[in-house]
Amino acid sequence: MMFLSLSRSDRGRFSLLSVIAVLFALTGCVSRPSPDVLKPVALKNDAAETLSVLAVTNRDRETKDGTFGNRWGQNLHYDRFVFSIPKDRNGAAIKYPTAKPDPKRDYIVLEREKLSLDALVREATQAARFDGTVAVFVHGYNYSYQEALFRTAQVAADANAMSPPIMFSWPSAASVAGYVADRDAVLYSRTELDALLKALGRSPKIKRIILFGHSMGGFLSMEVSRQLKLQGRDDVLQKLQIVLAAPDIDTDVFQAQLKDIGRIRNPIVLLVSKQDNALSISSFVGGERPRVGLLDIHDPIIEKTAKAEHLTVIDISSLQSSDGLGHDRYASLAKFAGNLDKAETKMRTNGRNIGAFVFDAAGAAVASPFRLAGQLVSPQ
């Protein structure tokens, strides 16, 4: 198996002071939403646009208010939320409701309903525009339940989702200092995400499951896919379209996961950027081990590796980031989902939907950085 590598020049060593400075910037840049943003609000006027989000979590439910904190739970909980989507959206930035919510600028919860697993699967397939595809979003490190839920709503709204998205929220500590605890929480959550994917896979109405894992959620997504393979559940694996955004996965671990999973019907998609400072810190904390999300797709070795391993690697460095670290660029990609679908269809038709590509935010197109770019993707 070919080695997924980072160039030595991109493995610049972080000093401890640099890491502390970045972590301080993370904790001091914005205030985080409290669980109060989950309380349904009755608007005086009808919302201009509404969106349903289905939520699954193995976080422990707080008994006093029904919210979810960072404690590891023993059971899965299922909810349906209805959001009011603001018309005046500023890119991928999320405005949380205040004491006086403004539907023109804020994402607002209008309804909340507890569900069973069977009811959740039915809800996922009953939308008027349902086309056989459901999407499961698995958040990354340092996310609270409410942050993951609102991010799911933002991405689905910008992508003009055909069916309600499903958020899977594992019990992240939602703390900058909780990296190691979050890694353990991911491993703890494999069986629960596995159960959700199996339930979706059993529905004959569902033809494709987009498993979208961000950062450490990408590690969880790959671990669960590997678990499905070891269980002999190719019926579920063949429905999966795995998309890993800024995956916080050691490159050697990723190769081992790929080997165990084997080739599945849909190529695994990696959304990467060399300018992701959060992953650079993760690499430093992990003993300067390279991370998949930092792959340099301009290296011809990466293109060869992508083709050998049945991967689609897309550089999204040109997209805007709102977290100051370049780690949440994927959230800006949602509004270009239609363009990506067209490019993917075009590449699949030509038999060239694997390899390494650059996403051009200005032109909303996918192009190859290599000499045969014109043969891989024709101009829009």
* Residue 177 pLDDT: 83
Among residues 271, 245, 242, which one has the least CA distance to residue 257?
242
* Residue 377 pLDDT: 32
**Which of the listed CATH numbers 1.10.3720.10, 3.40.50.720, 3.40.50.1820, 3.30.43.10 matches domain 8-36+50-92+112-376?**
3.40.50.1820
* Residue 364 pLDDT: 46
Q: CB neighbours of 262 closer than 8 A, spacing ≥ 6?
A: 229
* Residue 380 pLDDT: 34
Q: CB neighbours of 118 closer than 8 A, spacing ≥ 6?
A: none
* Residue 2 pLDDT: 43
* Residue 307 pLDDT: 85
CB 58 within 8 A of CB 68: no
CB 73 within 8 A of CB 83: no
* Residue 12 pLDDT: 44
* Residue 374 pLDDT: 31
In the chain, which residues have pLDDT < 50? Answer: 1-17, 19-21, 23-24, 26-29, 363-364, 371-380
Token pair 């996961």 is found at 257
* Residue 203 pLDDT: 97
Q: Give pTM, 2 decimals.
A: 0.85
* Residue 349 pLDDT: 59
* Residue 348 pLDDT: 63
Sequence spans of domains, the chain: 8-36+50-92+112-376
